[in-house]
Amino acid sequence: MARIQTTPVKGTRDYLPRELVRRNQVFQLLRETFERHGYEPLETPAIEHTAALEGKYGEEGERLLFRILKLGRDLETAERDLAANPSADRSAAALARTFSELALRYDLTVPFARVIAARQNDIVMPFRRYQMQPVWRADRPQRGRFREFYQCDVDCVGSASLTVDAEMIAIYDEVYTRLGFTDFTIHVNNRSLLNGLLEACDVEPERRVAALTAIDKLDKIGLDGVRNELMEAGLTESSVDRLMEAIGMSGAPQAMLDALKPTVGANEQGARGLRELSEVFEYVRAMGVAPEHYAFTVSMVRGLAYYTGTIYESTVAGTNLGSIGSGGRYDRLIGMFLGKDLPAVGASFGVDRIFVALDQLELMKDIPVTTTQALVTLSAETTRETFALARALRAVGVRTEVYPDPKELRAQLAFASKKSIPLAFIMKPEELARGEVTLRDLRAGEQETTPLTEAPQRALALLE
């Protein structure tokens, strides 16, 4: 018999209990933090109309959409229509549109924007929501990059106040700190400042995308590398000099903002970016975020097309991952669905990368793995007592399982040992007849005889 492939699809993973228990604890920590800040849960379908996703992620992003083939008759109809029209556009992009009108969600922000547009009247603004669901991207997987991964997003819609932009930084800080990260940086920048900077440095509009792409690589290729790429992009030496001065800056946010003022000069967009950042940092200080946890990083850009104001990206020292969380303000995205703009800002956490980071920094061992706490053995003559005891244990909250087969005791205890179950109740008929039971502590290798009626309390005591 030919065996079908048992490894999961490229870029996806199976989660075994040991791993999933830990993952769930990270999810739980995120959920708690989000709810502490007043965010409410929301979920959306995995599948969206492709039209709802197109035009939001930029050309590169759109290429990574997982498209779903039309079904049955619709597929046949599309095929017939195409065959009947020899002049139809047969480019890959056009064919994709012809044969598919649905796609898997690419992120959580765009579906959220769609929901806001659809359900405005059911929502009290400003609306704070969190969402923790998988997203799919048809990328080539590598370290810290998957085709199916979870995003955990908090977004606030309906307020243009920069206090909310600052709140995102406070939430990033709280989550990373609670996870056990100590050496992390939340990079903060502003799209409007970047646009203004390019204008003020006389970069022609058609060269701005290339310029931003080059600037964004600073942490990877260094100042000289960026300078080279900017020159290759066709910028004038004067433009490059001025841009390099700006992106090479480091230090306290307020001092950097002051230092950028002459470069930005009278440029309106740039000045607005500086003003917004200044205000955001003021609120961040008021919220008590430690200064060493965030930085004003002029070279941080963010690829997604929909950001308009403040943008974020966070990194952890001692890992070779990219960003473990990012986000920003997107005041015009909801307008693409609604016809009128609603201001919004959000932060996204990449749980899968956070996981890799926790692993690399060996912080995982601080998260305890919980499984079954007590095993009750089974034998043909003690069935009644076994299930009665298991029920009593569960009633006081002890996670209890019964070995399903009345196999020899050796096998039952070996099973408990392999699963690291700390306690085993050994059901001996002669003891049960006296109203007693043997309770073995597998961790210590010690055992005692205890009255059946006190067994659940003894188990709790041994488990502390």
Q: Pick the piece of the chain touching RNA (CB under 7 A) from 67-75, 97-105, 359-367, 375-383.
A: 375-383
Element (H, E) at 270: helix 268-286
Cα separation of 160 and 451, whole Å? 66
- 279 to each of 130, 192, 270, how far by Cα in Å? 25, 14, 14
Q: Give Cβ neighbours of residue 441 (< 8 Å, ≥ 6 apart).
A: 422, 423, 447, 462
CA distance 76 to 71: 8
Cα(172)–Cα(272) distance, rounded to whole angstroms? 24
Rule CB under 7 A: say whether 4 interacts with RNA.
no
Rounded CA separation 273/191 (Å): 7
Q: Is 384 in the site for RNA (CB under 7 A)?
A: no
Residues 48-87: x where in contact with RNA by CB under 7 A, - otherwise, as a string? ----------x-xx--x-----------------------
CB of 439 to RNA, least distance (A): 10
User: Which C-beta is closer to RNA: that of 156 or that of 378?
Assistant: 378
- Measured CA to CA in angstroms, residue 435 lies from 193, 360, 366, 392, 409 at distances of 77, 51, 40, 14, 20
Residue of the chain from 253, 309, 343, 350 that contacts RNA (CB under 7 A): 350
The DSSP 8-state label assigned to residue 142 in this structure reads: B
Question: Which of 9, 83, 266, 290 is in the footprint of RNA by CB under 7 A?
Answer: 9
Q: Using the rule CB under 7 A, which residue among 36, 40, 414, 448 binds RNA?
A: 414
Hey, which residues between 106 and 125 contact RNA (CB under 7 A)? 107
Whether the CB-CB separation of 63 and 117 falls below 8 Å is answered with: no
Q: Sheet with 423-426: list strands edge to edge.
A: 400-402, 374-376, 423-426, 436-441, 446-451
Stretch that binds RNA, among 182-190, 191-199, 212-220, 253-261 (CB under 7 A): 212-220
CB of 437 to RNA, least distance (A): 10
What is the closest distance, in whole angstroms, from the C-beta atom of residue 360 to RNA in the complex?
Answer: 12
Instruction: Give the nearer residue to RNA in terms of CB position, either 149 or 283.
Output: 149
Taking CB under 7 A as the rule, does residue 408 contact RNA? yes
Residues of the shown chain interacting with RNA in the complex, contacts defined by CB under 7 A: 5, 7, 9-11, 58, 60-61, 64, 107, 137, 139-147, 149, 151, 213, 216-217, 220, 302-304, 313, 320, 322-326, 348, 350, 352-353, 377, 379, 382, 408-410, 413-414, 416-418, 426-430, 438, 440, 442-443, 445, 447
